[in-house]
Amino acid sequence: MSIVLFDNNERNKLYPLNNVCAVADLRVGILTARERWGYISKDNIFINTADYLSVLYEPVPQGLHIWIDANLIPDEYLIGRIFSLAENQALADSKGLIAGRKNFGNDFNATNALRAFERVHKIDDTRRIEYPWNIFQCNNEILREDFARITAGRSSQQLPKSNQYIDPENIFIEEGAVVNFSIINAATGPVYIGKNCTIMEGCTIRGPVALCEGTVLKMGTKIYGATTLGPHCVGGGEIKNVVMQGYSNKAHEGYLGDAVIGKWCNLGAGTSNSNLKNNAGEVKIWTPRGQLNAGHKCGVFMGDYSRSMINTSFNTGTVVGACCNVFGSGLTPKYLPSFSWGNDGIDRYEFDRAMNDIANWKKLKGKKISKKEKNILKHIFGHY
């Protein structure tokens, strides 16, 4: 028996972050849902997602499994309830199936899965990541929970003496990390520094902050919590309450705040975003279901493989799809569809040119674009 993390039938609410991976591979806190449930269960984790994305994942084997909504952010109580479920029993709230233990074979369908269980236990609504802005809004709370989970029963590497620390007991440094002549304040939240990270001289970090494996902070970087830089990212300038999913760069001066950046993105030197309207009103965000309010502070959401030229100015609450090349004068529009070329939302990035450019960016970090990834991007290209 294993765990299967499934995308529910409202996965498109997470646009533009849902285009190129399953929900289970989106990062919030320190971990993705797949990584988090791996820590919790010590078991195999399988993924059930949209058909066009399924080529990225191992097929779910036949047999009895625990099926869990990938959007779910579990607490200890809920974890206990899920693992105590008997066969053909499920947990649900007003938003639908939370988790259930069943042998679905090849018949799982998130829309009507709840009907397949013999007994359904109704509970109060649970925490889920439903919209892109939930990622940075919940990052403070979830990062602290992940920090406690990852570091339990373990000892940090010795803190280098050249730095200044506040509340060093809340700082955890993994093997191979290099940290010199910087200031780390963990009084406001824990600071996690992953394997083989590099924090160059003069950086200032105020927790809660997580730097995942291989991430680099350029000299003089200023990071406010709650911020997560996913594996192999580069950070520079001023960053506040941001989640970068992985392999992305904001390496130079400029402000990035209350934002979520997908994988394999690059923000050119001087790129900044507005995260607060001049009238301090609520920020409306473009979604596939129409405009929705995201609160008073909201920066930019950028899909995988998108880039901005130097000195790009992202408007408050901007949504940039996957595989966009953003350039042009003035503030960007509030919405740029996937494969946009420029900032008018009209011209398209030619597919072959986009694939060639992605290959070049991947080469810089020792990776290659696969045929499966190209096919997924071809699917997206045909739908936007």
- Residue 190 pLDDT greater than 70, yes or no: yes
Q: E strand or H helix at 145, and its extent?
A: helix 139-151
pLDDT the model gives residue 1 = 67
- Provide the 10 A C-beta neighbour count for residue 375: 12
Of 226, 250, 370, 372, give the one whose Cα is nearest residue 306.
250
Give CA–CA dist 199/177, Å, rounded.
8
Banded pLDDT at 346 (limits 50, 70, 90) = confident
Of 303, 143, 134, give the one whose Cα is nearest residue 229.
143
pLDDT the model gives residue 322 = 97
Q: Write down the mean pLDDT value for the chain.
A: 95
Q: Which residues fall within 8 angstroms of residue 360, CB to CB, at 6 or more apart? A: none
Give CA–CA dist 122/162, Å, rounded.
54
Banded pLDDT at 384 (limits 50, 70, 90) = low
Of 57, 54, 69, give the one whose Cα is nearest residue 5.
69
Q: Are 294 and 285 in contact (CB under 8 A)?
A: yes
Q: E strand or H helix at 65, and its extent?
A: strand 65-69
Report the percent of the chain where pLDDT is more than 90. 93
Banded pLDDT at 344 (limits 50, 70, 90) = confident
- Residue 107 pLDDT greater than 90, yes or no: no
Of 330, 329, 348, give the one whose Cα is nearest residue 338.
348
Cα maximum dimension of the chain: 61
- Residue 111 pLDDT greater than 90, yes or no: no
Give CA–CA dist 83/41, Å, rounded.
9
Q: What is the CATH number of domain 134-381?
A: 2.160.10.10
- Provide the 10 A C-beta neighbour count for residue 173: 22
As beta bridge partners, residue 331 has 313
Tens of pLDDT, residue by residue over 202-260, are: 999 999 999 999 999 999 999 998 999 999 999 999 999 999 999 999 999 999 999 99
Residue ranges per structural domain of the chain? 3-130, 134-381
According to DSSP, the β-strands at 272-273 and 284-285 are unpaired
| Unique residue bearing structure tokens 């233990």 | 101
Banded pLDDT at 9 (limits 50, 70, 90) = confident
Q: Which residues fall within 8 angstroms of residue 278, CB to CB, at 6 or more apart? A: none
Burial of 353 (0-12, 13-18, 19+ CB in 10 A): exposed
Q: Residues, the chain, total? A: 384
- Residue 105 pLDDT greater than 90, yes or no: no
Q: What is the CATH number of domain 3-130?
A: 3.90.550
